Structure formats: structure tokens, C-alpha cells
Amino acid sequence: MSVVVFALVQLVPGDPIRLALGTRFDQETYDALLARSGLDQPLVQQYLTWAGRAVTGDLGVSFRSGETVTSLIAERLPATLTLALASILVALLIAVPLGTISALRPRSLVDRVATVLSQIGISVPEFWMAIVLILVFAGTLGWLPSGGYVGLTEDPAGWAQRLLLPAVVTGVVSGSVITRFVRSSVLEALGADHVRTAQAKGLPRRQVFTWHVLRNALLPLVTVTGVQLAYLLSGVVVVEIVFSWPGLGQLALQAVQARDYPVLQGAILLFAVTFLVINLVVDLLYTAIDPRIRR
């Protein structure tokens, strides 16, 4: 993955040294910054140097600001973690009840309404939904701020107010995706032989659902929730821009615009590691949910 990240960043057009120096500079200054950044070395040597330092946590120094990439990522990480966790919570609060009720009453009015709502949630662009919510709740009603970010320790009330709208926007989209998986997995579990046997034995409906249906339906839910969480942790660029949310997605976009190779490489590598770690956690959760996998 590090090879792919490094190779893709090299394909970004533009000269990062010229962008960092601006319009007025001499050749000596240009050559000095080129040598200091290591861009005068062959690509293989550049990769080996970068990868060797990345293993120790040193992702380099930003061409644009002169700060270390690690410090820039650490500065943006709390905002991204906050938004991702709040969004996945909103998504699960929407998806689990809606998908479950829809599966328990297939082809009913509730099922059809849930299907339509989930399709709308998937289809509506995030930026449009974000702008509408800002116009209604910040512009017209004045209940919530239109954007920005403050730390939880600085102002808990302001933190919650600024978090609500972006979390709802991203949570609705993720929740619409998860709803479909919950419905299909619960329907599949309801049709299993052991569930019909439990129902024939006269077990209470709640017990059958809790012990025989829900546990078997959890595996697809854990999978898709893990994927959605990894996606959110990688930064939702459009939502971050609309709500002026200082997350990792916005940092990566700014790095692309400034041709800031070290920041871009560090951010994309972090996104890749995030996906790998979350997939590993999901695999480990499988063994806790389904004893057959342990055997």
C-alpha cells in the first residue's frame, strides 16, 4: 500500500517547490529547498527514505507550513474521530430499528416507506442535504451554528451544537446504506431452519428474535458498519468543506491543491492503515459473535 500511495502522489501534476516558494525566488533558493526536501534524489531512493522514516512515525515535513506531518495529522485527528463516531452512532440509530421493523413486516407499508427513505438517503447528495440543513436550522430558525469546530474540553455545549448537523448529514447517508443490509440479513435469518424449529417449539417471539435471529444477522451488520466507519475516518471532504470542519479529508484536499507531497502521502497512508485495522477488528469480532468461526 505504501508503494501505491507513493506512486500515486508522484503522478500529481505541478512543482511543489515552486508552489511553496511563490513567484519570487532565485535558482539558489530553489535548489536548496529541492535538496532539503529530497526531491532531487531518484524516486526509488525517495521512497526508501520516506518508508523507512514512516515506520518510525516520521512522515516528513510539510512543504507549505514547515510543520511536521505527524503534528498536522494529530491536530486534525480529534475533529475527524468526533465526526466519524457521532455519524456512525446516528447511522446505527436509524438503520437497526428501521431495517429490523422492515424485515419483520415484509411488503407492508412500513417496509415500503423504509425502502423509499433509504433510497432517498443514498441518492441525495451530501452537499445538498448539508446546505438545506444549514438554511433551515442555522439561517431560518437560528437554533444551531452553520459550521466551525471547537474542542469538547473548551466548550462542551458549542462542541455538541457544531457537531449535530454534520453528524446528521453523514449519518443519514451511512444509515441508509446500513438499513438495506440490516433488512436483508434479518430476513435471511428469519428463514433459517433453526429459527423455524424454535418457533415450532413454542419459544416466545422475543426470545427467538434475540437469540436466534439477531445474533445471526449481526455478521453482515458488523461488516458494513466497519466499512462505513473506515470511510468516515478517512474524511468526508464535501461535508467538511460545507461545515468548515477541520478534519483529515480537508487536510488531504489542501495538500493536493498545494502539491504538498509529504502531507498527502501521510494522510493517504493513514487512511489505508485505518481500513486495514478496522477490517482486522471486524474479523476478530466475527469470532465473538459466531462460535462456529472459532472452531
Euclidean distance between CA atoms 43 and 18, whole angstroms:
19
Checking if the pLDDT of 14 tops 80, the result is no
Within a 10 A sphere around the Cβ of 193, how many other Cβ atoms?
7
Q: What are phi and psi of 57, to 5 degrees?
A: 95, 0
Question: Can you give the pLDDT at residue 205?
Answer: 80
Cell triple for 163: 457537531
pLDDT band at 132 (very low <50, low <70, confident <90, very high): very high
Question: Can you give the pLDDT at residue 295?
Answer: 67
Checking if the pLDDT of 210 tops 80, the result is no
Checking if the pLDDT of 89 tops 90, the result is yes
Average model confidence (pLDDT) for the chain? 85
Q: What are phi and psi of 61, to 5 degrees?
A: -125, 140
Least confident of 146-150, 186-190, 235-239, 290-294: 290-294
Q: Three-state SS for 59?
A: coil
Place of cell 516528513: 60
Cell triple for 60: 516528513
Checking if the pLDDT of 236 tops 90, the result is no
Which domains, ranges and CATH numbers included, belong to the chain?
2-55 (no CATH), 75-289 (1.10.3720.10)
Q: Three-state SS for 107?
A: coil
2: closest CA among 76, 42, 52?
52
Question: Can you give the pLDDT at residue 153?
Answer: 84
The mean per-residue pLDDT over the stretch 102-110 comes to 86
The per-residue DSSP string of 197-218 comes to: HHHHTT--HHHHIIIIIIHHHH
Higher pLDDT, 11 or 173: 173
Least confident of 112-121, 134-143, 200-209: 200-209
78: closest CA among 162, 140, 146, 138?
162
Euclidean distance between CA atoms 185 and 225, whole angstroms:
13
- What sections of the chain are H helices per DSSP? 2-10, 16-21, 27-37, 43-55, 69-104, 109-123, 126-133, 156-190, 193-200, 205-208, 215-233, 237-242, 248-258, 261-289, 291-294
